[in-house]
Chain A
Amino acid sequence: MRKVWQTPGGIHPAENKLQSVQQPIQPLPLPPRLWVALNQHAGAVAKPLVAVGERVLKGQMIARPQPDSGTALHAPSSGTVVAIGPHPIAHPSGLPADCIEIVCDGLEQWIDRDRHPDYRSLPRSELLVMISERGVAGLGGAGFPTAIKLASDRPIELLLINATECEPYITADDSLLRERAEQMLVGIDIASYLLGDPAERVIGIEDNKPEAIAALRTAIAARSDKAAAIELAIFPTKYPSGGEKQLIQIVTGRELPSGALPAELGIVCQNVGTLYALKRAIVDGEPLISRITTVTGKACLRNGNYETLIGTPVSALLGHNQLQPQRLARLIMGGPMMGVALPSSELPTVKTSNCFIAADASEVAPEQPAQPCIRCGLCAEACPASLLPQQLYWHAQSQQHEKLEAHNLFDCIECGACSYVCPSNIPLVQYFRAGKGEIRQQRAEKAKSDFARERFEFRQQRLEQQERDKQAKREARKLAAEQAKAAQAQGDNGAAEDNSAAALIAAAQARAAARMASPQQQRDKLTRAITSSRARLQAAEDKLTQAQHDGADHSQLQALQAAQAAAAQKLQLAEQKLAELAATDSASSSDASAAPELDAASRAIAKARDSAAAREAMSPSEKMASDLAALDKRLAKLQEKLELCEDSEQRQLLESSAAKLQAKRDALHTSSQGDQHGI
């Protein structure tokens, strides 16, 4: 007998285990339809490998888990996949989840079973993959993938086998040990091989299962391999001794630190059901497609343990046990302490479905209204984790999450001992579950918001970087342009100097000089212009007389007359210019040739003097005609300006001066005509 230790707290509820162990484990008739839920437990959802309409064999893998979480799923019986979609599952939320629905053909046709009785010849890694692919999960409670648990990279000194089954009503492990202890011991051997053959292998079991203990003793004694001893640790019945932390404390006397995993103490815990499934998976090549489920409660006429296919509807289980629907007060999945009430029986079982209790009114206490907490402290005495449920209750009620965490809410194993002893009927565990849920949700939100912040800041940084890059490019371009300009400027210095004011002036002077040319050239030009004008005038006059002679129409005559007048004017202008030139020549013949570039003022004076002299030389009629021509010219110029001008004020000014000029011209015209008539 191994020494055992005491744990704090705990309660002794009515066991109610006897009624379901009167008969051996029985097979259940094959239900017509099975629903295999894609998420059997908390964690990632498995990915279906089959399509609707596909025929599947018993034991065929139908869904693969996400890497490193969850377990593979297998067809519990041969048949056809008819649907993959949401179906209500046995979950406290009552929400539907994706299930693979299989219509059984009743043939129970197995896949090729890959048996490995000589598992010690296989490498550990291969064996672990096999365990994962054969869907072995923790059948004791949470359904944690066994392969992950057995792949511990820490040295393991103790393999602790949990046969406690401390919750009332449940006898699945008890009946398994009574009938299949030898097979379970093979499972222990596989697990200890995978864990590097730990020094100790201990089965922890409560003293309320004498038949199971006897069966275990016999099986252990019958083992051929005496070297790898398996010890039994039998301890007094108390709820909840079967919790992992509690069992470790009972068997080793060591308390698992808050938040630590048993592997950190060199311990791995495995449930007996899991080890049995492990043996079946490796030695018999049968994936986890069934488990032993207790069906009990006074609303059923028969109580017992059944080899249940995963995915069997609860209604099939209850129907087989002759459920009296009128007596059913509450349907509970799991034990009475930690289990959840199910809203209906049309739900499929999952890998962790160890017990269904169809309780009648005498078994479940009528729901008492919760009364205020009287601070009696019974819950603190009952708590196996040495927490202060009354304090946690206050903080959970007022949603003070920091206080909840400070009071170690996450060490609560939700065993329900506090609620059981509470004289005020406060549903303490529900408060704690809600508090945990809220804290988890807040943590998830915090993680998400931190991620969003990171992404937002990264984006800001990237945008700034882009802006900086653009700015740098712009500056580089600008610099390049400036450099190119400078290079060009250096290339032709002369051109650069042209741009200077001095150069501009010089160019203008050159142009002026060209225009001035020599007086001789100008005179030649003017004489040429006069002769051509004369010829044109002659031609125009000829045309006019011809037209008059031919009797052309009025408009044609007018046009010809205008042309003749224009030619005459041009001739007059050329003659006038020639006269001016002659006057200039005579006035400044000496210095004109010596210095053609007179200064502007003296030139203007000379010009004015010349023109005055020329006027004096002209006859009065000639004078008048030249005046008239000059006026006409000014008028034409003014008209041109007027057309170009856009400013209204300037326009007015120009118009008024144009009118003045027009009046002057008209006056001059009439006087000149009068003179002509007078002659």
Chain B
Amino acid sequence: MQPLWELVVANPIAAAVLALVGLALLFGALLGFAAERFRVEGDPIVEQIDALLPQTQCGQCGHPGCRPYAESIAAGEAINKCPPGGQATINALAALLDLPAPELDDEHGEASEVKKVAYIREDECIGCTKCIQACPVDAILGSAKMMHTVIAAECTGCDLCVEPCPVDCIDMLPVETGIQGWQWQLPPRPGLIASDRQPHSGAAA
């Protein structure tokens, strides 16, 4: 003890080294403890990506559902493979991941403006239950040899039930918006020079 103390007193460099080493050990221990104590289970970015995806579970991206696609986006896959989400989803993903927002990849289908839900022509349904098995969100009701029907409020419009139907009695119909779904639209953008537009608006009025 005595020689160490004398060394520290005699040699300020040694004192500094000792102090720094001590601090390094202290903070290292602190960080190590924090890393164990506040460990985050799973990948939180996957949750955030999954929250932005439209949850149609349609598989058009080539993954069996939205979550697997979220996982592969987190692993570096392209963010433009989701036609149901369209450009809005791509933009949101790009903002989240700090990536440039690409155009939708046409390979995986085209974004449709109108929302659609499946509709079973009930007279033609033979009760094979194939569509029920195909539905990723359990939105089809029915049992073997009984008529099936789609719960429109729960249908995501993923299209997956259309293909397995042996009698082709499922149609994808656009959702009726009606007055309940109507909303105000943004006014047309004003031009930089208002007088540029005057002849047109004058003609309209």
Contacts and interface: CB of A to CB of B under 8 A. Distances in A.
A63 B138 CA distance: 33
Given A372-B192, A397-B189, A452-B137, A441 B183 contact: yes
Nearest to A428: B187
B183 A437 contact: yes
Given A434-B185, A456-B65, A367 B201 contact: yes
Contacts of A97: 178-179
B183 A449 contact: no
Interface string A431-464: 1011111101100010011111101111110000
Interface of A is mostly: helix
A371 B154 contact: no
A452 B179 contact: no
Interface string B154-197: 10100000000000000000000011101111110111101101
Interface residues of B, number: 34
A89 B187 CA distance: 23
Contacts of B126: none
Nearest to A37: B179
Given A452-B137, A455-B154, A366 B179 contact: no
B55 A452 contact: yes
A353 interface: no
A452 B186 contact: no
B178 A437 contact: no
B55 A371 contact: no
Given A39-B180, A372-B192, A459-B136, A450 B55 contact: yes
A476 B191 CA distance: 76
Contacts of A396: 186
A440 to B, nearest CB: 7
Contacts of B154: 451-452, 455
B194 A370 contact: yes
Nearest to A457: B67
B183 to A, nearest CB: 3
Given A92-B184, A93-B182, A449 B54 contact: yes
B156 A430 contact: no
B178 to A, nearest CB: 7
B35 interface: no
A65 to B, nearest CB: 15
Nearest to B53: A449
Contacts of B182: 91-93, 95
Interface in A80-97: 89, 91-93, 95, 97
A454 B138 CA distance: 11
A93 B179 contact: yes
A552 to B, nearest CB: 72
A168 interface: no
Given A95-B182, A97-B179, A456-B65, A430 B55 contact: no
B80 interface: no
Contact of B205 (A366, A371, A436): A366
Contacts of A369: 190-191, 194-195, 197-198, 201
A422 to B, nearest CB: 12
Interface in A603-619: none
Given A448-B156, A453-B55, A455-B138, 7 more contacts: A91-B182, A370-B190, A371-B194, A441-B183, A449-B54, A449-B55, A449-B156
Interface of B: 50, 53-57, 65-67, 136-139, 154, 156, 178-180, 182-187, 189-192, 194-195, 197-198, 201, 205
